[in-house]
Structure formats: C-alpha cells, structure tokens
C-alpha cells in the first residue's frame, strides 16, 4: 500500500474515530456483550493499522486539521497506546467474563483511548484541555467499575478533585497564553516564545501548566488515588499505569519551548519531581503487596520522568515514557506470575546485597555509561547527565550476600553490566532517531537533580545494608510518610462525598425521599 496516496487527515483522525464509534456502539445496547467485545477488538485493529500508516506517512503529510498537528513523538505514542489498548481489550474480555456492566466497561475503554489520541495530536489549548478532561471522565467509569469497593470510590473521588483543580490551572494557563500571543494555537505559542521570549504572563502560564501536570500525573502530595485504585480491575490498572498517567510527561515534552524559558516553572517541576522520586522510591522498598509495590513504583517513575523534563533531558524522558509503558503493561497483565515468581525468589534468593556491591555499584554504573557513550560517539553529554543515568541504574549491579560460587557472582555482575550498557546504548540511539526533540540540559538544575538522586541511592543502600538500624524510618516509609492521609482529610473536608457503599445507598435513599414541591 502506498501511504503517500492516503489522505493525511483521514489517517490521523481514524484512530480516535474508531474508538469513539466502539464506545457509541457499546452504549447503544443494540449489541450483545460478546458482539460488543468482538466489534471493539475489530475497531482496535483498524485503529492500530491507521496509527501505523500515519507514522509511516510522516507528520508533514498530516497538516490542515483544525486544532490538531501530529508530531513524530505523538505518532509513535499513538501507535504504542493503540497497541497496548488492543492487548488490554483482549485481556479484559477474558478477565471480565460473566461480570455485569461489560458494555459500560467497553464504552469507557473506548472513550479513554479516543481522548488519548486527540490529546497526542492537540495543537490548540482548547483541544488539549478538552481531551485531557475527557480522559479523566471516561477513566472514572473504569475506576468505579466495582461500586461496592470503598477504596476504589475514595480513589476516584480524590482523583476527581485533582482533575478539576488541574482543569482550572490549564484554563488559567490557556487564558494567559492566549491573551499574550493572540491565539490559542500551540504552534503560534512556540513561534512567539522563540521570537519575543517569555513575558510575565507567560511565566505564570508555565507555572500553572506545571502544577496541572503534577496533579494529573499523581505526584506527591496527591498520589494516593493511584495507590488505592488497585481495587479496580487489573486491566484498568494496566491501562492507567502504562498509558494514562504517562500523559503528563508527553505534555511537558510538547511544551518544552515554554518550559526551557520559564525558570520558576522549571525549578518548581524539579522540586516536585525530585521529592516524589526520592520519597516514593523509599516507600516502594517497604511494601509487601506486589500490586501496591508496582503502584508506588509508578509514582517514583513519574517523579523521575518529570525530573528529566525539569533538567532538559526531553529525549531521555520520551525513552523513559515508552519503556515504562511497556514494562508496566506487562507487569500488571502478568500480575499472577509476578506474585508467584516473587514468592519463589523470597524462598530461594538472598534478602540483601553485599556491602561491597552497594559501594561499588554507583562507580561501575557511571563508568559503564561513560564507556558506552565514548565508544558510540556523538555529541558530548554533560558529566552530570551520565552520572545521573549510572546512579539510577546502579541497583542492577548489586550482588547477593549469600554464599555463592565466584563464577555465579561473576556472571551476575556481567549480566548487570550488560543491562546498564544496553540501557545507555538505547539512550544514545534514541537521540539519533528523528523525533524532533531538542534537549536543553540545564547547567544548575542538573547537578541539583544528581545530588537528590545520590541521596535516594544512599537511602536505598542503607535500607539494604542496615534495615534494623532504620526501624523508625521504615515505619514512616511504610506509611508513605503520611502524606496521603493529610490530602485525604483535606479533600473530604473541602469536598465531602459518600465514598462507602453504605453511605452512597443512604445518600441515594435520602435524595429519593425528599418531597417534590
């Protein structure tokens, strides 16, 4: 098939249209549950083919759509999202077999995928805000699929509050930028910033955008709903952790021209991202439940991804986004196998690494990254950039403390070095791809981020080396440092809602018993 003869607008609009049609068919009630699933999976396949053809056609052939302007990264992520959505749809059909409300589930899943496609192509403030709000609205239906699970209802309520505040911040940012630029077009905003720099209103717009992304991406202190949403069906967790929650990273990469010139917004993002990565990374080690640990891992990864955007490593953030999406989709969809493997490792594997490996892992990790980058060549990276990567991947080089043959330890070390080297090579090759991304490493923010990651590694290593010496700290870490409790109480005080099944039934009964005047 010659993609050059396919109308560009038809290719780019087909995936959201297909998912919207699937949602409409499910809501109509004219199809049986089985037919709804078959139709949805067929339309998913059609959308997947359209997304692949759109990527092959290239973004230059996809102009002329009002409010939409696909980028190379947007097309890559659209293909990734649709591929994951197709897999999750097939998994959901088997997972929910015999459950009530499957048509509602199909409609909500189609709505989420359609809105995500629109967000990935948005070139106008109103399209971006509407698409992101639609993602949240459709996702609420999936999170509350089991209405008798109180923590799912509480999580959905807390997410709803964060979403509404984020919508307000996005509208504020759009209003400030629109008034300054004279247009709601994002392309016009980039041109204005390149030619005239950032005025005070645009600085405030960047700050409002960063705060909105923090709320949407479940960073501390509003991260609790992402942990409690484990009550939702497993495929919903996979969709949320592998796709929806990563949208904040894409939006920041999209707004890189604005973020690069807005110092207050950059430092605000650095503070939230670094605090989230450090605290969530410490909490993750103390949790026992596999799904809860995966959820805390997502919070930490989101903090690290936004940290990469704050220091100007947009290509690395894009690679992180893609890798995290694939990993979390596999982890949640194979949760039962993960639990079995983890229990087997707990029975047969040592619990702690050696003290020597804890000390040497950062040195070996940073050294491996530097060697790979020097061997591959290309533009020179700042030293803190390489050190940040080596420090983040250092735990791969920890060696078990239990007695083992020298050959076994050597093989484990070699395998760890190969993984670190492979990741460094992937990061370099990612920069060679024509994604249209331009990194802007910040000379001061980078070393600050490196210092924060060094403190995180020190905490992780200490927990591994002397876990009993930090008993009080472990208790605080296990409780998530009580950050979510503060947000939960504040949320329920400012916006009370019946989040237990009994309270909801009582509220509904009270509404029905009110006499009509």
Question: What is the reported pTM?
Answer: 0.89
Q: What is the structure's pLDDT at 300?
A: 92
Q: Where are the alpha helices (DSSP H) in 287-437?
A: 290-310, 314-333, 335-348, 355-376, 383-392, 406-432
Closest by alpha carbon to 390, among 429, 430, 412, 417?
417
pLDDT in tens, 436-468: 888 888 889 999 999 999 988 988 888 777 766
Bridge-partner residues for 68, per DSSP? Answer: 65, 122
Length of the chain as a residue count? 517
Orientation of helix 200-216 relative to helix 150-181, angle to 10°: 160
For 38, left (φ over 0), alpha (ψ -120 to 50), or beta? alpha
How far is C-alpha 243 from the geometric centre of its chain's CA atoms?
6
Token pair in block for residue 128: 């971006």
Q: What is the pLDDT of residues 120-158, one digit of tens each?
A: 999 999 999 999 999 999 999 998 888 888 878 888 888
**Who wins on pLDDT, 311 or 13?**
311
123 touches 187 (CB < 8 A): yes
pLDDT-derived band of residue 504, with 50, 70 and 90 as boundaries?
Answer: low
| Average pLDDT of the residues of the chain | 84
Which range in 4-8, 135-139, 226-230 is most confidently predicted, on average pLDDT?
135-139
Extract the tokens encoding 395: 């735990």
Confidence of residue 284 (pLDDT cuts 50, 70, 90): confident
Contact 260, 312 (CB under 8 A): yes
Kindly report the number of other CB atoms within 10 A of residue 182's CB atom. Answer: 10
**Per-residue confidence at 404, pLDDT binned at 50, 70, 90?**
low
Residue 515 has pLDDT above 80, yes or no: no
Instruction: Read off the pLDDT of residues 490-502 as tens digits, 9 standing for 90 and up.
Output: 888 888 876 555 6
Handedness of CA 191, 192, 198, 200 (dihedral sign): negative
Q: Distance of CA 245 to CAs 90, 134, 210, 329, Å?
A: 21, 14, 15, 12
Give residues with Cβ within 8 angstroms of 28, minimum separation 6: none
Q: How many helices (H) and strands (E) in the chain? A: 23, 0
Q: Do residues 397 and 366 touch, judged by C-beta distance below 8 A?
A: no
Q: Kindly state the average pLDDT of the residues 201-206.
A: 96
Determine the pLDDT at residue 154: 85
Judged on CB neighbours under 10 Å (0-12, 13-18, 19+), 427 is buried
Q: Tell me, what's the pLDDT at 347?
A: 44
Tally of CB atoms within 10 A around 112: 28
């Amino acid at each position: 098939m010659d993609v050059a003869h396919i109308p560009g607008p038809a290719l780019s609009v087909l995936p959201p249209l297909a998912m919207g049609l699937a949602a409409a068919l499910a809501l109509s009630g004219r199809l049986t549950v089985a037919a709804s699933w078959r139709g949805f999976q067929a339309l998913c396949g059609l959308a997947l083919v359209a997304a692949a053809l759109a990527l092959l056609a290239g973004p230059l052939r996809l102009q002329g759509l009002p409010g939409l302007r696909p980028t190379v990264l947007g097309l890559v992520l659209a293909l990734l999202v649709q591929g994951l959505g197709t897999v999750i749809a097939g998994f959901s059909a088997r997972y929910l077999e015999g459950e009530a409300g499957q048509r509602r589930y199909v409609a909500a899943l189609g709505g989420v995928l359609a809105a995500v496609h629109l967000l990935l192509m948005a070139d106008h403030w109103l399209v971006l805000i509407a698409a992101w709000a639609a993602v949240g609205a459709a996702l609420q239906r999936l999170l509350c699929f089991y209405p008798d699970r109180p923590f799912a209802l509480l999580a959905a309520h807390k997410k709803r509050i964060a979403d509404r505040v984020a919508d307000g911040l996005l509208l504020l940012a759009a209003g400030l930028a629109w008034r300054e630029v004279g247009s709601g077009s994002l392309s016009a905003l980039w041109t204005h910033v390149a030619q005239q720099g950032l005025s005070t209103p645009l600085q405030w717009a960047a700050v409002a955008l960063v705060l909105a992304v923090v709320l949407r991406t479940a960073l501390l202190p509003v991260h609790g709903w992402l942990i409690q949403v484990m009550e939702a069906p497993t495929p919903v967790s996979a969709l949320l952790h592998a796709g929806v929650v990563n949208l904040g990273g894409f939006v920041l990469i999209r707004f890189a021209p604005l973020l690069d010139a807005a110092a207050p917004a950059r430092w605000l993002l650095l503070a939230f991202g670094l605090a989230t990565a450090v605290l969530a990374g410490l909490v993750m080690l103390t949790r026992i439940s596999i799904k809860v640990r995966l959820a805390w891992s997502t919070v930490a990864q989101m903090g690290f991804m936004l940290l990469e955007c704050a220091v100007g490593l947009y290509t690395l953030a894009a690679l992180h986004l893609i890798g995290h999406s694939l990993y979390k989709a596999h982890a949640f969809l194979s949760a039962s196998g993960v639990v079995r493997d983890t229990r087997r490792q707990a029975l047969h594997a040592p619990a702690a690494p050696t003290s020597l490996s804890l000390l040497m892992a950062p040195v070996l990790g940073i050294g491996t990254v530097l060697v790979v980058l020097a061997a591959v060549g290309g533009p020179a990276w700042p030293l803190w950039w390489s050190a940040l990567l080596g420090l983040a991947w250092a735990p791969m080089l920890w060696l078990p403390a239990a007695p083992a043959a020298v050959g076994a330890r050597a093989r484990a070390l070699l395998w760890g070095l190969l993984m670190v080297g492979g990741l460094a090579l992937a990061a370099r090759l990612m920069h060679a791809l024509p994604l249209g991304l331009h990194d802007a490493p910040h000379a001061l923010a980078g070393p600050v981020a490196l210092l924060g990651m060094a403190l995180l590694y020190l905490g992780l290593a200490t927990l591994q080396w002397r876990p009993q010496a930090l008993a009080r700290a472990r208790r605080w870490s296990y409780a998530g440092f009580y950050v979510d409790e503060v947000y939960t109480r504040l949320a329920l005080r400012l916006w009370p809602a019946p989040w237990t099944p009994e309270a909801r039934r009582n509220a509904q009964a009270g509404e029905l018993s009110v006499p009509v005047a």
